[in-house]
Amino acid sequence: MTSPPMGLRASEPGEEQLEKIIKPLLRKKGILRRRSVEKQIFKSILYMPYDVVEFEYELAGGEEGTGRTAVNLVLAGSAEDLRELTLCLKPGLALEASRASGLGGDARLLKPRIRGLAVLKKLADARAEVEGFRSKAGAALADARRKLMLPQYRLISLFFPTPSIQAVMAERTYADLYARVEAFVRELNSRLGLDEGAELTALRPLSQEGPIFFPSLVVGLSGPEGDRLIVLDVSGREPKLDVEATYLCSTKPELREELRRAVSA
C-alpha cells in the first residue's frame, strides 16, 4: 500500500485576515482619494512540493558544519538565472518539515519540476565559479578606481566636469559586476541559513528528503492591467505573503498558467 504524501495542513485565513494582507498590494487609481482598481476573482489552497536538502560547508576561517534548507520544486523549475534560483530556497521551512504528517486525498498537490539536490548542486557549482570571478572583479574595480586618481585624469577634471569617459565607464562596469556578484553571494548565504557575510570556501550537497508538501493560498486578482496572482504561505499559525512566489508569478507566464490550471482542476 502506498503511503500518503507528507506535508503540513493549511491554516486558511478568514476573509478579514485575508483582506488585511491583500489590501496594501492592490493596484490603485486616483490622486487625492486613491481607490482599488483590482478585485479578487478566486482563491484556492495548493500544496507546493519541497525537498529538504542537507549540505556540508567550510568557511574561510576554517569552520566546518552542516546545514539544511528547503527547495521549492515548482518555483525552481521556472527559474531562469541564479538569482531566481536562490529565491527558491527557504531554510525556515526546513525546520518546519519535522511537523509533516500524512495528507488526505483532498489536498491539491503540485508535481515537482526538479529535485532539490540538483538545484543545490547547480548553486554550489556556480558559487565556486563566482568566488574566482569575485576576487578578479574586486581587483579590477580597485584598479579602475586607482586610475581615476592618476594625474592625467585629475588634470582633465579641471576643464571638464567628469574624468575620462573611458575611465568612468570602466569603473562603473566593474562596480556593477562586483555588486551583482556580492548580491548573489550574500543572498545564497542567507538562503542556506548562514550569515550573509560568511566567506564560503566549500559547499557540498549531501542528501535530500522529500517531496514534502507545504500549503500556499493562491489568490487571483483582476483589474484594468489584466489578471495576476498573489501567493500566501499558510503553513504556519499566521498567514504571510510569499514574496518570492508572488514575484516569480509576476515574471513567469508559464508558472502563472500552471497554478491557474491547478486551481481549476
Q: DSSP readout, 203-241?
A: EEEEEEEEEEEEEEEEEEEEETTEEEEEEEE-SSSS-EE
How many whole angstroms separate alpha carbon 183 and alpha carbon 103?
A: 38
- Do 147 and 32 belong to one domain? no
SS3 200: strand
Residue 196 lies in a domain: no
Q: What confidence tens digit (pLDDT) does each residue in 18-30 have? A: 999 998 888 888 7
Is 1 contained in some domain?
no
- CA–CA distances in Å: residue 6 to residues 39, 50, 119, 202, 227: 34, 10, 21, 32, 32
Across 154-173, average pLDDT: 45
Does residue 248 form part of some domain? yes
* Residues 108 and 262 sit within 8 Å (Cβ to Cβ): yes
Q: Are 16 and 67 within one domain?
A: yes
81 shares a domain with 15: yes
Q: Residue 222: give the domain boundaries.
A: 6-125+201-264
What's the whole-model pTM score?
0.82
- Average predicted confidence (pLDDT) for the chain: 83
CA 136 remoteness from chain centre: 26
Share of the chain above pLDDT 70, in %: 81
Can you give the length of the chain in residues?
265
Kindly state whether residues 147 and 217 are assigned to the same domain: no
Rounded to an integer, what distance in angstroms lies between the CA atom of residue 234 and that of residue 13? 8
In the structure, what pLDDT confidence band is assigned to residue 157 with cuts at 50, 70 and 90?
very low
177 and 121 both lie in a single domain: no
Number of domains composing the chain: 2
Residue 247 CA to its chain's centroid (Å): 9
Taking only the tens place, the pLDDT of each residue in 82-106 is 889 999 999 999 999 999 999 988 8
Q: Which three cell numbers stand for residue 107?
A: 489536498
Instruction: Point out the domain boundary residue: 143, 160, 191.
Output: 191
**Amino acid identity, position 3:** S
Q: Are residues 178 and 239 in the same domain?
A: no
